[in-house]
Chains A and B, each alone.
Chain A
């Protein structure tokens, strides 16, 4: 009830072509009898940085997985951008029992979900980075080039030939980010990317996330902390009792610290490369 009001009163920052990347309508998700999610309306745009806050167990991860297309939901519809011509064809996954056989998943829509503790395959870091490219049947040579770029981008060249399972949590998170980066996603769904990390790892991971945002990648970061990293966030969504509440722009602006006012994400003021952090 409250969420409706906010969603209608707030018009989010729009991208160039003004069409939402992802439209959610009337989405519900239940585990048994328990209702986890009940979302009337949510539009996500490319290039936006969104903070999804909410208590532990509020259903943030479930929502993100549903948005990424790797978790089923009970009712409602998800429309991806390329569906605009066939919007009436609601996707009732409810009946798609064999949905795991569907070929078309989040990636074709440019959406990638990253776990809180990312899962790296039991192969070298280099092969992990190449995984998504291999799925696209890209030529080996081209793969190697892009992977090398990703290693540079994330500052992880020294780990390139290590087995990914032997790395620390912080290193894994950065590799997961680089592994998504090579696929040039429109929207990244990050599930508490810096939780349970020491300060150094947290800084290094945040640095990569900032780089992604500055490159214009849309990002949804979820966190159980309610205070967002204001410098980067365009929009705050709060998940409570299964409902989404969008913070008003005024509210958001108030919480923004004045010195960062000029470097609002949409202005994309260059962030100084923080090589020293890596």
Chain B
């Protein structure tokens, strides 16, 4: 017990004193995940919007595909990406493995199914009348989509937040395709895994605190948004 309190205090000290290595890890974590979520969200919401509005053969197949992908462990995503990007793989010439873009790619792949599934739930939860009204009032497909997105904004925000929470705390894929290289691809979760394997718990706990604080904030945000979404 004494060990735990002592390392926690050391952790706080590290955070407060602005330890360069610690803050470099935090910076890498946020820069990759934010880029990934910014790239993934528009694509995912477009897919979920089309899936919710259009009726075409194969629609159910696509929906179940995304629901299945939702359950794929992140290490499988990592493995697949590793094989594709490694020098002996089909995209080896791009030399992306163990770089930031590879990690962002992995995070996009992990976030996408969650964004599509939750986005679809949000769009399907929207009133069918909303779509019909936009169309009958003369809105083109793009404007109608934007209007609908505004109508279900709380659900979409919840989807985005949940997906962000998933990728920022993800360790399997980030470790495999990122390589946990300090100042380049060492993120909060991979650093925690490393610090624990070194037996250096203080930095692990400090990073854990950052992650916990973030998760708390995100979940708080989601529940506020969901509650606001339920008012109407």
Provide the bound-state CA to CA distance between A129 and B63, in Å: 36
Report the stretch among A5-13, A118-126, A197-205, A210-218 that lies at the interface. Answer: A118-126
Q: How many residues does chain B have at the interface if contact means C-beta atoms less than 8 Å apart?
A: 24
Q: Which residue of A lies closest to B55 (CB)?
A: A97
Provide the bound-state CA to CA distance between A132 and B150, in Å: 16
A143-194 with Cβ < 8 A to chain B: 165, 179-180, 183
B197 within 8 A of A: no
Q: Given that A122-B150, A122-B232 are known contacts, is A70 also in contact with B132, CB under 8 Å in the complex?
A: yes
Residues of chain B contacted by A180 (CB below 8 angstroms): 137
Q: Given that A119-B127, A119-B130 are known contacts, is A113 also in contact with B136, CB under 8 Å in the complex?
A: yes
Provide the bound-state CA to CA distance between A112 and B138, in Å: 9
Residues of chain A contacted by B150 (CB below 8 angstroms): 121-123
Majority secondary structure, B binding face? helix
Q: How many residues does chain A have at the interface if contact means C-beta atoms less than 8 Å apart?
A: 35
Q: Which of B130, B134, B137 has the most CB of A within 10 A?
A: B137
Report the stretch among B90-98, B99-107, B140-148, B160-168 that lies at the interface. Answer: B140-148
Q: Given that A122-B150, A122-B151, A135-B143 are known contacts, is A113 also in contact with B132, CB under 8 Å in the complex?
A: yes
- How far in angstroms is the closest Cβ of chain B from A60? 15
B182 within 8 A of A: no
Provide the bound-state CA to CA distance between A135 and B150, in Å: 16
Q: Contact check, B133 vs A98: say whether CB atoms are below 8 A apart.
A: no
Provide the bound-state CA to CA distance between A136 and B139, in Å: 8
Residues of chain B contacted by A206 (CB below 8 angstroms): none
Q: Given that A119-B129, A165-B232 are known contacts, is A131 also in contact with B151, CB under 8 Å in the complex?
A: no
B135 within 8 A of A: yes
- How far in angstroms is the closest Cβ of chain A from B89? 35
Residues of chain B contacted by A119 (CB below 8 angstroms): 127, 129-130, 132-133
Q: Which residue of A lies closest to B138 (CB)?
A: A107
A42-86: CB near B (< 8 Å → 1, else 0) gives: 000000000000000000000001001111100000000000000
- A-B contacts, 25 listed (Cβ < 8 Å): A65-B132, A69-B136, A70-B136, A97-B56, A97-B57, A98-B54, A98-B56, A101-B141, A102-B141, A105-B135, A113-B132, A115-B129, A118-B129, A118-B133, A119-B133, A121-B133, A121-B151, A122-B150, A122-B232, A131-B139, A131-B147, A135-B139, A135-B140, A165-B232, A183-B137
Residues of B bordering A, CB below 8 Å: 53-57, 127, 129-141, 143, 147, 150-151, 232
Residues of A bordering B, CB below 8 Å: 65, 68-72, 97-98, 100-103, 105-108, 111-113, 115, 117-119, 121-123, 131-132, 134-136, 165, 179-180, 183
